[in-house]
Chain A
Amino acid sequence: MIEFADVGKRYGKVAVLEHVSLRIEKGELTVLIGPSGSGKSTMLRLINRMIEPTSGKILLHGKNTLELDPVVLRRGIGYVIQSIGLFPHMTVLENIAVVPSILGTPKEQRFERSKELLDLMGLEPTTYSKRYPKDLSGGQQQRVGIARALAANPEVMLMDEPFSALDPITREGLQDEFSRIRKTLNQTIVFVTHDIDEAIKLGDRVCILNDGKIQQYDVPEIMLRNPANEFVANFLGEDRELKRLSRVSVKEFMRGVQHAPKDARTIRDSTTARDALVQLLNHRDELFVKNEQGQIVGVVELNDFGVR
């Protein structure tokens, strides 16, 4: 889908990226993460040629992006940035319809699509269509920013720290909503962040960068379990085992039983192992797990977490 083939980028003598090779799979959300100056944003901007590589090449659908017209390339790639970048002189609807508009989609059609997206992003079209960006909160603005990136239905979306400028509560809400929406779409998403919790929460795969080099590229569960080196281990934090529990279901830890006592505490089998553990620590007893139909399928105690 997207492939970095031995890509290097330097500004004068300073190397920002060195020998980066990476394959991003179709339909996956890949998170690029690392400390400031690690080269994560540079990698993202290389994909839509906002920056051009000094060496190596980037392939999109097997085609070298350097051989494509950058303007045409960018029209097929959704782009969401941290500063949101809504155009202040355009209404919300006009902002979302920008890419279809430069592609020449008829007005009726592109505004219809924009209203659908506004609805998808949880903003009531009749209320928000004609407002100007300055009349929206930060969270609402970034919803519009994401809708704008989706407007031309691109196969690839690039998101450069889209939620970092928001307050923690808005950020978490938007993360949840974004993971929900993403399941209904089939975009390949490259997502840059410096927030490890966000990376673990959203990423199908995570790529940790430092000093312009890839440190580890893996699914979060494996990375949390087997950090490739000390940098990755430190970056993931001492609580990486806890973080891993937030990625897996309580089902991984329960022992199968069919019956529970009458007044037993129960949780759904979709609960994360981390949340189950928190409940056990709070109440110090056993938790019975039930499935969607309400049948008891298992039980967990603190000990069950210990043996793994």
Chain B
Amino acid sequence: MVATTRAFSLQRWQPLLIAALLWLLAFFLFSQQGIWATILGSLFPFADPVLFERASLLRLVIQHLQISLTSMVLVILIGIPLAIFCTRRQGLAFLPLVENIVAVGQTFPPVAVLFLALPIFGFGTLAPILALFFYGLLPTVRGTLLGLRAVAPELKDAALGSGMNGLQLLRRLELPLSLPAILAGLRSSLVLIIATTSIAPLVGTGGLGVPMLAGLTTNNTSLLLEGAIPVAILALLSDYTMRSVERLLTPWRT
């Protein structure tokens, strides 16, 4: 029965399949150290070294994604429930507070957040992950709040009048209808976090920021680009992937 009402449609899955192929292609490209050396070497013949020597590009990409995705998981696990809580009757009082804290988190420059986290968590991975989480929280929380508050009152009236309880209202009506806004929020958070992870090496972790920082301090554009280009690729691909997920999960919109 489910199969007939939610028929598999290639048209809907297509963008996600394309995204998967693009990811494979990107990782293949990151693993080809030689190609990067040749291209960057011909663009910047006087760069020394052309590529970062203490870690391969693939390794840096994986480190980068580990940091970004860990922060992202925290954003999902804390941001969405927080927004849901603030729109329930019991949590309504916290709504302005949460909105303000979350907004402050993003108006703070990420470098400052990073260094504020430093004395508390010390050098290592924990400080950047928490700083990035705090920094990336806003779009997700705001998207979820926006989505939940945009559910038409007459739909809630119909749902409650049909005998749904609070949990059923949330699960069967509010969350599915807010999904586009929530996913859009997650997409912004993800792109923001992936881009900002570049400054994580300032407090002593890895990632694509490592060659970028090295390049900046030694005036080596080749090293800078070795970090910057893959970050841009990761951010663009994440954006595209999230858009495909949005289309797949909300077939009733188009």
Contacts and interface: CB of A to CB of B under 8 A. Distances in A.
B1 A74 contact: no
A288 interface: no
A111 B6 CA distance: 14
Interface stretch (A52-60, A84-92, A263-271, A278-286): A84-92
Contact of A87 (B1, B160, B163, B173): B173
Given A87-B155, A89-B176, A130-B5, A50 B161 contact: yes
Contacts of B7: 130
Contact of A71 (B5, B154, B163, B250): B163
A102 B163 contact: yes
B157 A81 contact: yes
B90 interface: no
Contacts of A108: 1
B70 interface: no
A9 interface: no
A88 B5 contact: no
Interface stretch (A93-101, A209-217, A218-226): A93-101
A74 B165 CA distance: 10
A85 B163 contact: no
A75 to B, nearest CB: 3
Contact of B162 (A79, A93, A129, A134): A79
B252 interface: yes
B120 interface: no
A147 to B, nearest CB: 13
Contact of A102 (B1, B4, B154, B162): B162
Interface in A154-175: 158
Nearest to A148: B162
Interface residues of A, number: 34
B5 A94 contact: yes
B10 to A, nearest CB: 17
A99 B163 contact: yes
Contact of B163 (A74, A90, A158): A74
Chain A CB within 10 Å — which of B7, B155, B179 has the most? B155
A132 B7 CA distance: 14
Interface string A54-76: 00000000000000000111111
* Interface size range on B against A: 20 to 34
Interface in B152-211: 154-155, 157-165, 168, 172-173, 176-177, 179
Interface in B34-49: none
Contacts of B159: 85, 87, 98
B176 to A, nearest CB: 5
Contacts of A73: 163
A83 interface: yes
Nearest to B176: A89
B252 A75 contact: no
B147 to A, nearest CB: 12
A64 to B, nearest CB: 19
Nearest to A93: B5
B154 A88 contact: no
Contacts of B163: 71-77, 99, 102
A265 to B, nearest CB: 50
A30 interface: no
A79 B1 contact: no
Contacts of A85: 154-155, 157-159
B252 A81 contact: no
A130 B5 CA distance: 6
Contacts of A83: 154, 158
B252 A74 contact: no
A107 interface: yes
Contact of A91 (B5, B154, B161, B173): B5
A94 B250 CA distance: 15
A102 B252 contact: no
Nearest to B168: A102
A110 B164 CA distance: 17
Interface in A96-132: 98-99, 102, 107-108, 111, 129-130, 132
Interface in B63-107: none
B178 to A, nearest CB: 10
Given A50-B161, A89-B250, 20 more contacts: A50-B157, A71-B164, A71-B165, A74-B160, A77-B163, A79-B158, A83-B158, A84-B158, A87-B159, A88-B177, A89-B252, A90-B252, A91-B5, A99-B162, A99-B163, A102-B162, A102-B164, A102-B168, A129-B5, A130-B7
Interface of B: 1-2, 4-5, 7, 154-155, 157-165, 168, 172-173, 176-177, 179, 250, 252
6 contacts: A71-B165, A77-B163, A86-B158, A89-B177, A99-B163, A107-B2
Which 8 residue pairs spanning A and B have beta carbons closest together? A85-B158, A75-B163, A79-B161, A74-B163, A83-B154, A89-B176, A89-B252, A132-B252
